[in-house]
Every structure is written in C-alpha cells, then in structure tokens.
Amino acid sequence: MIPYGTVEEASVALGRNLTRLETAWFDYSATKSNFHVYCHTILLLFLVYSLAPLPLVFVELTGWFEQYKIQPKVKYSLSEMFRCYKQVMKLFLLVVGTLQIVSYPSLQMVGIRSGLPLPSLMEIVAQLVVYFLIEDYTNYWLHRWLHCKLGYEMIHRIHHEHTSPIGYASPYAHWGEILILGIPTFLGPAIAPGHIITFWLWIALRQIETIETHSGYDFPWTLTKLIPFYGGAEYHDYHHYVGGQSQSNFASVFTYCDYIYGTDKGYRIHKKLLHQQFCTALRALGSIMIVVVIGIIGFTYYAVVVANYGPSLLIGGFDSLVALLVLALFHFLLVMLLWSYFSVVVTDPGGVPTGWRPELDIEKSDGNQHSTGVANQAPSVGDSSSHGVRYCRKCNQYKPPRSHHCSVCGRCILKMDHHCVWVVNCVGAMNYKAFLLFLFYTFLETTVVAISLLPVFLVFFSDGDGDITVSPGSLAATFVAFVLNIAFALSVLGFLIMHIMLVARNTTTIEAYEKHTVNWPYNLGRKTNFEQVFGRDKMYWFVPLYTEEDMKKLPSLGGLDNASRSETEPLQLL
C-alpha cells in the first residue's frame, strides 16, 4: 500500500512531481494492500498461459506456415490442444496459483516493493538482464538433474510426453517440476529485488519466452534471433525430439552453458551443419575473439582501477589500505591471467611430425597385409585409446594414439582436447597446462572483481545515495563489469571443475565422450596423471612453463609418447 493520501503528498515526499505513469499507478494502487497488488501475479500468469499460445493454435490449424514447422509430420487437432490446455489450467489452479499466494511472505522478505517511485527504464532493463542470466544458469543444472534416471522417471517425463512441443505444452509438467524450476525464476528477484512491476515484466517475459521455444515453429522473422546465444524454438525442439534419452540442449534461454559444458554436441550432429563453412567461420573469427577478450579485460580494468579503487588510494586511511590490497591482488592475477592466455594463443598445441610412422606397429601391420593379400588397404582409423596403427585419411598420414584431426586447424593435434574459439587455437599436449592455468586465474580474477565491485553494485539498486558516491557513468560501468565477471566466474568454475576431473583420470574432453573400458590404460593414478600435465617441478606448477628436466624425463608432455599401463597392471591411486 502506498503510504501517501494524495498525489500532492507523494510529490512532496519524492521532492518532485509524479510522472504520468506514477500518477496512474497511484490512482490504481493507493487504496489496495500489498497482498492485493501481489495477487495480480495470478491474473497475469493466467492471461499469459491462456492468450500467448492462441496465435500458435491458429497457425497449427490453418497450416499457412507449414514450411516453418520444425516437425512437419506431427499434427495437432483442436481437441488435442484443448486437452493440453485443460491439464495446464488444472495445474495452474492447484499449484501455480496456490504457490503465488503462499510465496507472498517471501517476496515481502526479500524486499520487492509496490510503492513509489516507479523504477526507471534503465533500472528495469538492468534487473531483467540479471534475472535472465541467473535463471538461465541455475535452470541449466536443474534441468540436467531432471534428466538423470531418478529425476526423469519420477518428474520430468510428463513434460516430455509432447515430443513435438506446442505452445500450450510449455507449462505442461509434473507439479514437482513446477516447484523445482520455479526456484531459478524466483532466484533473480530474490538476489536483486526491485519493483513489483519489474517482477511482473520478468514473469511475463519468461513465460512468453518459454511458450515461444515450445511453439514448434521456427519463424525466420522472430526478433529473438537477434539476441546473441539465444536458443529459440528450433534449438529446444531437438531436446523434445530426442526425448527422455536426451543429454543435449538443456539451456532454457541462452546456449552458452550447453556449449561450454559440451551438451549441445548431439544437436550439432543432428543439424548436419556444413562442417567446412562452420570451420571457415571459426577461422574468420581469428583475432576478433582476442580483441573481445582484451576488450572485456580492459573494461573490467576501467571499472576496478579507474572508476573505483584507483581514486580510493588518494583518500588515505583504512580505505586506501583496502584499495591498495585489492589493486595489488587484482594486478597480480591479471598478469598471470594474461600470461597464461597468450601462452595458449601462441603456443603450438603439438602437431604430428611429417612422415611420422609407428615403426613396430607398421611392421606388424605390413606383415598382416602381406599374409592377407590386401597390402594396399589403408590402416584402420581407430580410436584414441588404440595402441595399434591409426591413420588420418584427411592428413594422409599415420597418427599417434590420443591424437585427433582438427578440421579448423586442418591438421592432427597431439593429445587434442578441443578447439577453443576464445584462444583461436587448438588445446593439445603442448598448451593444455597453459589453458588450465588460464581457467584457474580467470576464475580467481573474476571472483575477486565481483567481490570488490559488490558494494557499488548494491548501491545501484538502493533507493538512496548509499555510502559510496560515484558518477552515473562509473556506476553504469561498475554494474556491467560486475554482471560480466559474475557470469564468467560461474561459467569458468563449472568448466574448471570438469577439467580437474579429466586431469585426475588422464583423459581429454574428446576421450571423455568416447566409450572407454573401465581399465583406461592412460590412467596412472592421480599423482602421476597430474604430473603428465603440470610436470614434477612444483615451482612451475602455477606458471605456463616447463623445466628442461621435466621435458626430458616426461616425454608424455610432448604428446608423442604417452605413458600407459597394461590391462593387468594395478592402478596407483596416490
């Protein structure tokens, strides 16, 4: 309830005249309680659930846009769509509506307000961006959990009854799924609370986005195609097409999590992209991605050093001491980050030497060929774990175990992990350590930046001026830098944990997606596996360099000679 009796009282309290929107909001909500205002959320959701999919019903029944239907063989009748809508409304009345009423104390507790002043357009947009980023990342992991055996069989399989989704099927789910996936939706407003109008916009946009991704139609004029990393209907439709066995395309809005954690590979294969064009596009990125990385680092440097902690050095006292410590740590991590990053960029990941031949295996292979009369037959391609003859038909040469052909680089890479667009290079035997250190220092740097900018970030959402006085430009730069760094910190953390697990098993990303025997021959125990990547000299573990002694004593660091054990040799855990 607005604590002012008249518009004039509100104007005096705010120190300015109310805008037209604020006057209209005052006239409508001044006599209503906060609970009454919040209950409008139920009406909003009902209207979105009922009206937003209606155009898709018309499109489905008329068949006028059949060329844009993602699964054209699947047809839905009016009765089938109405049956789906009835189930959704039953769920809405029993779960969604009740949940909105029960959650009212939570919204009051986190500080979502309904009074004056109304938020500015910039504040609304900024909060919506934060909400989408938080929801997208947390929804990704909860969605992946729902596709494990327990989560799918008990809860998520109901939503996948529609292998070709329709608009009304977006909220069609088990009541438990509504509660679980409601957590990411509420988490953003809980972390960065705003006005109830912003909350309504967030709820409406999120549901409309969900309906659009479940539409079953990929319209070329959809404005969301202009949003970077946006998934859309065609992207999510594949997830439903595969069904319960799907381990791909978990993202709710953006695709970066699927790309970072490798859960979009099945989708890429399904799409049958012209690989040559895709690789050409990656090559074309080239130095652009390096410029992007440097640009993000430069922008962060401005927000931390120029806009915030640099001026604090001149204040004196405890504030200057804190600023000195923050800047010292920031610059140290920045130097290590850049050193590791450019080491990955400029270091050759390791290529197969021209004319390389596995002499012992070739002799055996030649003997077999002569005995069978097929001397001209090319050796088997094999997989990365094969100790026999492996041959690359694209390079027309033999390749060692654990090497793979990179279509972007156009050659075979020793102990190839993946081709990384951020470093414009393959990650292989010679630069894998530098890549891991780049992830490590990036996580530390972005975490330090996020923590150091958090006080100013909170001022952005405060009603008053707060304890920190900064210019609007510096405040905006701080806000953007905080959001960027917290997003990178969360993303890199997951990626770093994955690679730590790979190092512990002496496995690459490519090998992790191949079918291995339980007794993986290159798993030499955690300690030895670690040394196969970082070397034995502890002084060099945290820098992207190797000692000459390590390079001599550990030939596996070069990628050609990979240490392994026999099938019967016991595994040393320490």
Q: In whole angstroms, what is the distance from residue 125 CA to residue 450 CA?
A: 20
DSSP state at residue 310: H
| Nearby residues of 40 by Cβ (< 8 Å), 6 or more positions away | 200
Q: Which of 402, 399, 424, 391 is nearest to 279 (CA)?
A: 424
In angstroms, the first-to-last Cα distance of the chain is 64
Q: In whole angstroms, what is the distance from residue 279 CA to residue 358 CA?
A: 30
Q: In whole angstroms, what is the distance from residue 118 CA to residue 359 CA?
A: 76
Angle between helices 196-213 and 232-242 (to 10 degrees): 60
Asked whether the beta carbons of 435 and 420 are under 8 A apart, the reply is yes
Q: In whole angstroms, what is the distance from residue 196 CA to residue 480 CA?
A: 23
In this structure, what are the phi and psi dihedrals at residue 527, rounded to the nearest 5 degrees? Answer: -65, -50
In this structure, what are the phi and psi dihedrals at residue 404, rounded to the nearest 5 degrees? Answer: -145, 155
- β-strand 425-427 against 404-406: which pairing, if any? unpaired
Q: Which amino acid is at 374?
A: V
Q: What is the rounded radius of gyration, in angstroms, for the C-alpha atoms of the chain?
A: 28
Q: In whole angstroms, what is the distance from residue 536 CA to residue 553 CA?
A: 9
Q: Which of 287, 269, 266 is nearest to 278 (CA)?
A: 269
Surface-to-core class of residue 548, CB atoms within 10 Å of its CB (0-12 exposed, 13-18 middle, 19+ buried): exposed
Of 257, 406, 409, 420, which residue is the catalytic one?
A: 420
Maximum Cα interatomic distance, the chain, rounded to a whole number of Å:
102
Asked whether the beta carbons of 215 and 167 are under 8 A apart, the reply is yes
Tell me whether residue 148 is one of the annotated catalytic residues: no
Asked whether the beta carbons of 380 and 389 are under 8 A apart, the reply is yes
Range 421-424, long-range pairs (CB < 8 A, 24+ positions): 421/282, 421/285, 421/289, 422/289, 422/293, 423/289, 423/341, 423/344, 423/345, 424/285, 424/286, 424/287, 424/289, 424/290, 424/345
In SS3 terms, 71-139 reads as: CCCCCCCHHHHHHHHHHHHHHHHHHHHHHHHHCHHHHHHHCCECCCCCCCHHHHHHHHHHHHHHHHHHH
Asked whether the beta carbons of 478 and 452 are under 8 A apart, the reply is no
* Number of other residues whose CB lies within 10 A of the CB of residue 90: 10
Catalytic residue annotation: 420
